[in-house]
Each structure stands twice: as structure tokens, then as C-alpha cells.
Structure 1
Amino acid sequence: MTYEAFTFEVADGIGHITLDQPDRGNPFDGPFCAELSLIAAECDENPEVRAVLIDAAGKYFSVGADLRVLGRDRADLPRFTKSATTGLHSAISRFSRMDAPVVAAVHGLAVGGGVSLAAAADFCLAGGSARFYAAYAGIGLSPDGGGTHALTRLVGPRRATEFYLRNQTWTADEAAARGLVSEVVDDAELGKRARELALELAGGPTRAFGEMKNLLLAAVDQPLEALLEAEARAMGRVTRTEDSWNAITAVSAKQRPTFEGH
């Protein structure tokens, strides 16, 4: 399938998503959000996708919302934003809930929804040039893309409040120190390092990864006893997988386990 705002391919167990409107700064607009939802559904359903890598072409990761689109029709703006965020939010939800781990590789500027997308990933690698700009308060808007949930979970409520309400920009090193970024690497090495990580994850126990992701999401607001039961039930489901049984027997025999994703 051909996309307007992205290139997407599946190879070596990796669903590789590239934001690909570099001449526009990879903005979040209606087509972008709708297409991202379709790609997320494909990643979630395709058994060949065992890790997802999200990166961007051009100078920026994303400049966020296209202000020219937002400024076209004041009367239609509430309807437009609700429609566009439907696609964006379904994509964020599926990336967060799917079995395949998601790696974001951020370079240059990530603005608004670009920060939300990076925060939603399971791993965020940043080039030294990366800057994370809140942006919403600067144009009198509130955040979208699950940024308030993901950023609060990653950096804490005080830091998230400062970021959004004071319209802050964080460098790559600041974002790493505060918990948004997993690792900072040289810009020249970003693509290589992100692919290495995605390949590592694609070779892991995909079904178990999915259970881990959902447990980690639930850990934010679940009572201890509820989470304990969720952990027990998740482990019960994982023990039924071929990957789990094969790994248990391999390690017991002092052999290195291999995982097939099922």
C-alpha cells in the first residue's frame, strides 16, 4: 500500500515506519493521522512484525500540527481536531498495546504530537541534535496523542506539568535525564543503533513482550492486588506459548534459546 505521509515496509521482523514528508517537516494533519492508524493496525495484525521502528526523513522528526490547516476554518476547527485525533489516538493505543515493542528514533526537532509519539514508544533513542518542544501552550491548545499520559508516566507529574504549562523545550540530554529518552547517540549513529535495537527486540519472545507492555501500562493506576492477579494470569497465558516452553527446555539444557514469536 502507498502512503502520502509515510513509507512503511516489513523486513527482518521489523515494521519500519518513516515519517516521509520532509519538505513539510512531517506535520501531523488529517491524512497523517488516518494513515498512521492504518499502519498501526497492520503492525498489530501482521505476525511477521515482531518489532516496530519509527523514524523520520529530513531535517526534523516532526514539526507537529500544520498551523495552516488549523487556521483554515475557525468554525470547523473543533470537528476537524476531533476527527484527526481519532486516527492518531487509535494508532497510539495500538502501538502501546500490541505485542511488538516499538522503538522511536528521534533527530532534529520533535514538536507537540511528535513528542507524544516518541513518548508512546517503548524505547526512544535520540540523536544529539534532538529537541523536544511542548508547543501546545504556545498556540493556546491542550495536548493530544496521549502525551499527558505517557509523559506523566515517564517523567512524573511535576516534570510533565512544567513541560506543558511552561511550554518547554528539552534537549536530548535533558530528555534522557528526565526519563523521556532511553539513550542518546550521535546523529550519525542514530539509524544504525535504532535498527540494532529493533532487531534485538524482533528476536525476542514477542507474546511475552506484549504481556509485559500491558502489565507496565496497568501498573500506573492498578491496586497491588489487582496487578498481582493480572501478572499471574499473564504468566499463565505466556506459558501456553511455544516460545516459553522451548526457552524453558533450552535454558534447562544449558542451550541458548531462540524465539519465533509464537
Structure 2
Amino acid sequence: MNFQSPVLHSIENGIARLVLNRPDDGNAISLAFCSAFAEAVEQIARAELRCIVISANGPRFCSGGDIGEFVENRERLPEHIGAMLELLNPAMKKLATLPVPVVSVVHGSAGGAGIALACCADFVLASEKVRVRGGYSAIGLTPDIGASYYVAQRIGAAKAKRMFILNETFDAQQCLAMGLFDQLHAPEELAGAAETLVRTLACGATAAYGLVKQLCDGAASRDVETHLDIEGAALLASTRSEDAREGVQAFIDKRAPEFKGR
């Protein structure tokens, strides 16, 4: 692991960890950050995974785009941001479609594209001290890397427009009430709570979890007849898994199952 990289990654016992690592700059997203993030996602996508964790070093989770870098490139801003999106968008798509649970641990404030990095996860755990602000339209820009998608999916279009047009700041309790966050914890308890969830997920029937993700993520875009067909096919596929056989045998044996994610 290169600790100088703006994004760190590691894999141990099937748990992949992505760590935003520009602590002195609010983990702002620069072109170098985009390259490191894309490479990290590519590396973990090749591994045998059970769960993915997204977290950050420093006092903030992610402040969004690196405005200083935008200023430096203001004469060629479309080209500069286009280069960033060419790296980040494929990485975000790959992260979203990996068939394992993703957990984000939001210990500090999130803004702009940092909201996408927090809310692309299946489970969003946050500190009670966190604040969230869209910020894009304050500098004449629109959301990117899925921020508008994930926020609208979680809290609805009306509240998403409040976040990204009015640039209202939402505190942690408001985010929890709206559904942007799944759990809140005291700052000193957040890491432990996240680790408990991650290890629970990693020991679970992760082959089935991947199918559940596909079903739930695609449900809104399908009619019920189509969804029932896809859901039925997923169930039949899961019945053929090693995890299903182990789960049934463990039920018969009256013991805890030992899932392998296969």
C-alpha cells in the first residue's frame, strides 16, 4: 500500500477497503485522486470479495471537487473535468455493480462529489457530527459521478433538488430522517459499529447478497411482470449455490451456517 497515494486500498479476508487519503485538503477530488481511485477500484474488482468499505483519513470525509485545481485550469475547465469524469465514471459504475455489499463510513463533512462517494454504498453509516452540502450550483456547476442519482434514489427528487439547487446544509439527524444515511453513531463509536457491520456482512451469504443488490437496484426501472421473472431466475440461481446448501444443512443441524460466498 502506497501511503502517499490520494486513495489507499487493501484487501484482507475478502474485505476490500478504499480510503480517501488527502487529509490536509479535505480529501478534495483532484485529477490525481481520480486516477488513484480508478486504479484502486480496478485492483479490488479483480479480487475474491465479500464486502467493500469506503472511508477517509483526516477531519473531513470528502469536500468534493478540488476547487483550487479548477481555478488553475479555468481556461480549459471542460477538458479538465472531462478528463476527471473519464476516470471516475467507469470506476463508479464498476463499484456499483460489484456483487458484494458496500459500506461507507462517513466520519466528517461531505460535499459535492463527496456525497456520491458516501451514498453509492448499500449501507451508509455516519457520525452524529456530519454535515452535508451540495455546493455545485454555488459555483455554477451540476452534480457528477452519481451524486444526483444516489441522493434522489435515497431521499426523492424534491429533497435532492433542495440539496443541489438551494445548497442547503443538512445535519446528520436530518440526513438520517430523510434516508440519506442508514445509521448514526457517536464519533467515538462509529468505527467500531462499522467494523461490526462489515464483518457480519463478510461472513454472510454474499453470493445471495449480490443478487439481492441487482434486484433492488433495478426494481424501479422494471414493470412487475418483468421483475417477477428476473426475481424468480435469481432465486433459482441461488438455490444452486454452495451457500444455500450450507444454509439448509445448518438449519437441519441447528447450528450457525458457515457461508463461503459461493
Classify the TM-score, shorter chain.
over 0.9
Taking the aligned partners of 1:29 and 1:225, their CA distance within structure 2 comes to 44
- Contact 2:7–2:40 at 8 Å: present in 1 too? no
- Corresponding position: 1:163 with 2:179: no
Taking the aligned partners of 1:19 and 1:75, their CA distance within structure 2 comes to 28
Unaligned runs of 5+ in 1: none
Taking the aligned partners of 1:234 and 1:203, their CA distance within structure 2 comes to 21
Q: Post-superposition shift, 1:94?
A: 1.9
* Residue aligning to 2:56: 56
Mapping 1:122-141, distance limit 5 Å: 122-141=122-141
- Provide Cα deviations, 1:133-154, integer angstroms capped at 9, x if missing partner: 1010111100011111111111
* Residue aligning to 1:89: 89
Q: Post-superposition shift, 1:75?
A: 3.6
- Contact 1:44–1:100 at 8 Å: present in 2 too? no
- Corresponding position: 1:28 with 2:33: no
Q: Post-superposition shift, 1:41?
A: 2.4
* Residue aligning to 1:43: 44
- Contact 2:73–2:80 at 8 Å: present in 1 too? no
Q: Could you tell me which amino acid in structure 2 is paired with residue 21 of structure 1?
A: R
Q: Post-superposition shift, 1:103?
A: 0.7
* Residue aligning to 1:240: 240
Unaligned runs of 5+ in 2: none
For residue 28 of structure 1, give the secondary structure of its aligned residue in structure 2: coil
Q: Post-superposition shift, 1:24?
A: 1.2
Q: Could you tell me which amino acid in structure 1 is paired with residue 143 of structure 2?
A: P
Q: Could you tell me which amino acid in structure 2 is paired with residue 103 of structure 1?
A: V
Moved more, 151-160 or 31-40: 31-40
Taking the aligned partners of 1:16 and 1:36, their CA distance within structure 2 comes to 12
Q: Could you tell me which amino acid in structure 2 is paired with residue 137 of structure 1?
A: S
> Taking every aligned residue pair, what percent have the same amino acid on both sides?
31
Q: Could you tell me which amino acid in structure 2 is paired with residue 109 of structure 1?
A: S
Q: Post-superposition shift, 1:86?
A: 2.3
**TM-score where L is the length of structure 2:** 0.95
For residue 110 of structure 2, give the secondary structure of its aligned residue in structure 1: strand
- Provide Cα deviations, 1:31-80, integer angstroms capped at 9, x if missing partner: 21222122222222211x21111111111111111111111233421122
Taking the aligned partners of 2:195 and 2:13, their CA distance within structure 1 comes to 10
- Provide Cα deviations, 1:166-225, integer angstroms capped at 9, x if missing partner: 112111111000001010000011111111111111111111111111111101211111
Coordinate RMSD, CA, aligned: 1.4
Taking the aligned partners of 2:206 and 2:46, their CA distance within structure 1 comes to 13
For residue 18 of structure 2, give the secondary structure of its aligned residue in structure 1: strand
Mapping 1:175-214, distance limit 5 Å: 175-214=175-214
- Provide Cα deviations, 1:99-134, integer angstroms capped at 9, x if missing partner: 221111112211111111111101111111111110
- Contact 1:44–1:99 at 8 Å: present in 2 too? no
- Contact 1:96–1:213 at 8 Å: present in 2 too? no
